[in-house]
Amino acid sequence: MTAFPCTDPAPPVPRRPRLTPRAVPPAVTAAAPALAAYAAVRLTGLLLLCAGAALRDEDPLRRLNGRWDAVWYRRIAENGYGYEARLPDGSVHPDLAFFPLLPGLERLLAAATPIGAADAGLLVAGVSSLVAAWGIYAVGAHVAGHRTGVLLAALWGALPTGFVQWMAYTESLFTALTAWSLHAALTGRWRTAGLLAAAAGLCRPTAAALLAALAAAGAANLVAQARGGTPVGALLCRNGRLLTGMLLAPLGWLGYLAYVGVREGSPFGYFHVQADWGNHIDGGAALAGFIRDLLTGPWPSPLGGVGVCAALGLVGGLLVAAARRRQPLALFTYTCAVVALSLVGAAYFGSRPRLMTPAFPLLLPLAAAMARWPVTRTVAVAAAAALTSGIYGAVTLLGDGPP
């Protein structure tokens, strides 16, 4: 009798699970063209700056993170508040004029990574600019469709002052927070809008424009419901999130003003600090005087005066177009407030165009019009705008005056 060896069957070889790529969120897919267009515009500007800096044997990075306001932010990040610059004419410029969010982020990044505070400011600006472009696209697409949103993000990058979006300045960080706050308000997510506005309030003083926009939109929402016959008690209960968002929104801005007030020993301490820098509200008198001097002053520059008037006329025309298109109240209020705050102060005139950089809804009528053009014409105009913006940015950054 033949015996067969008793063997256990071999255990089954487990199959390796099939790795399937994780689906890309639809929101990212939709925003990808806008992010690509924006990045292409700003990379054009960066390449032109690098080319100009190479011709002058300069380091382009030092033009982006080592001059003007970027130096103040870096100093705050490294040493905290308390520095004052004393000018030859006896005036004093305290660093309390600069809001704390950007230097706070610079300090955190410098502590957590090998890079210094100056380069951390560039990193914050670069990442924030992409987040801002995404938020700008989201607002434009919500109001006027996908193609308008893409063009709105590209046009924002192609602003003449677009070069500051990749500097160690607050423009990109503030615009990112503002764009998403406005988008949250437009889509009824009021607590998110309030939290983002509170963060924006720690970024720069023009956050007052965002607060005004949210307050106007929220109030209009409540008034519309009240006119529908909703009792006050039910109105308040139904709109708890809206009211919470409106209460959260000013906390950052008011908190920093309170901090400066305590430091200065006056509830109006921040405004005294601004006055030390020569900044105060004059109703536009300084702007009018600047234009007058360009046209008829001792050293006139008629071409410059005409250019400034033309730029102001363009801004006014875009505001009129936005009003005629019945732009959402939050966007229109925000834009008007940013433009007003940029023009009615006695600050250094060269900074006024930069101060209007976060007013991206100003470009919405133009983006909506371009969205109806043939693709070839749209691409040609956008490319020309990117090239012009890049040349202007390179010349400005390689110059001596602050942007």
| Contacts of 177 by beta carbon, 8 Å cutoff, 6+ apart | 196, 197, 199, 200, 203
Q: Give SS3 for 92.
A: strand
- Tell me whether residue 61 is exposed, middle or buried, using C-beta atoms within 10 angstroms of its C-beta: 0 to 12, 13 to 18, 19 or more: middle
3-class state of residue 84 by DSSP: strand
Percent of residues in the chain assigned helix, strand, coil, to nearest 5: 70, 0, 30
Element (H, E) at 210: helix 207-227
- Which helix (H) or strand (E) is 86 found in, with range? strand 84-86
- The per-residue pLDDT for 9 is 46
Output the pLDDT for position 14: 54
In this structure, are residues 179 and 162 in contact, taking their beta carbons and an 8 Å threshold?
no
Q: Which helix (H) or strand (E) holds 264?
A: helix 251-264
Please state, as a whole number, how many other Cβ atoms lie within 10 Å of the Cβ of residue 9: 5
Asked if residue 18 belongs to a domain, the reply is no
| Cα(71)–Cα(68) distance, integer angstroms | 6
| 137 and 108 Cβ atoms separated by less than 8 Å | no
Q: Report the candidate in 371, 322, 327, 363 with the shortest Cα–Cα distance to residue 143.
A: 327
What is the tens place of the pLDDT at every residue in 337-372? 999 999 988 777 778 889 999 999 999 999 999 999
Q: Are 77 and 58 in contact (CB under 8 A)?
A: no
State the DSSP H helix or E strand holding residue 111, giving kind and residue range, or none if neither. Answer: helix 101-112
Judge residue 127's burial from the number of C-beta atoms within 10 Å of its C-beta, 0-12 exposed, 13-18 middle, 19 or more buried.
Answer: middle
Q: Where are the alpha helices (DSSP H) in 145-170?
A: 146-157
The string over 186-199, giving b where at least 16 C-beta atoms fall within 10 Å of a residue's C-beta and e elsewhere, is beebbbbbbbbbbb
130-146 pLDDT, tens per residue? 999 999 999 999 999 99
The residue segments making up the domain with residue 334 are 31-397
Query: Looking at residue 31, what is its pLDDT?
Result: 95
Instruction: Please state the φ and ψ torsions of residue 86, each to the nearest 5 degrees.
Output: -105, 120
User: Quick check: is 390 in a domain?
Assistant: yes
- CA distance to 275, 290, 358, per residue, from 353 (Å): 20, 14, 10
Q: What is the pLDDT along the chain (403 residues), one digit of tens a residue?
A: 444 344 444 445 555 555 445 666 787 899 999 999 999 999 999 999 999 999 999 999 999 999 899 999 999 999 999 999 998 888 889 999 999 999 999 999 999 999 999 999 999 999 999 999 999 999 999 999 999 999 999 999 999 999 999 999 999 999 999 999 999 999 999 999 999 999 999 999 999 999 999 999 999 999 988 887 778 778 888 899 999 999 999 999 999 999 999 999 999 999 999 999 988 888 888 888 888 888 887 777 888 889 889 999 999 999 999 999 999 999 999 999 999 999 988 777 778 889 999 999 999 999 999 999 999 999 999 999 999 999 999 999 998 878 7
> Distances in Å between the alpha carbon of 143 and those of 147, 154, 215, 293?
11, 16, 20, 41
Determine, yes or no, domain membership for 14.
no
Nearest partner of 180 among 371, 362, 358, judged by Cα: 358
Q: Per the structure, how many domains does the chain have?
A: 1
- Token match 């926009």: residue? 213
Measured in degrees and rounded to the nearest 5, phi and psi for residue 281 equal -80, 125
- Quick one: three-class SS letters along 290-333? HHHHHHHCCCCCHHHHHHHHHHHHHHHHHHHHHHHCCCCHHHHH
- What per-residue confidence (pLDDT) applies to 5? 43
| CA-based nearest residue to 95, from 27, 66, 387, 103 | 103
- The per-residue pLDDT for range 261-318, each reduced to its tens digit, is 999 999 999 999 999 998 888 888 888 888 888 888 777 788 888 988 999 999 999 9
Alpha helix segments (H runs only) across 145-206: 146-157, 171-186, 190-200
Q: What is the pLDDT of residue 87?
A: 85
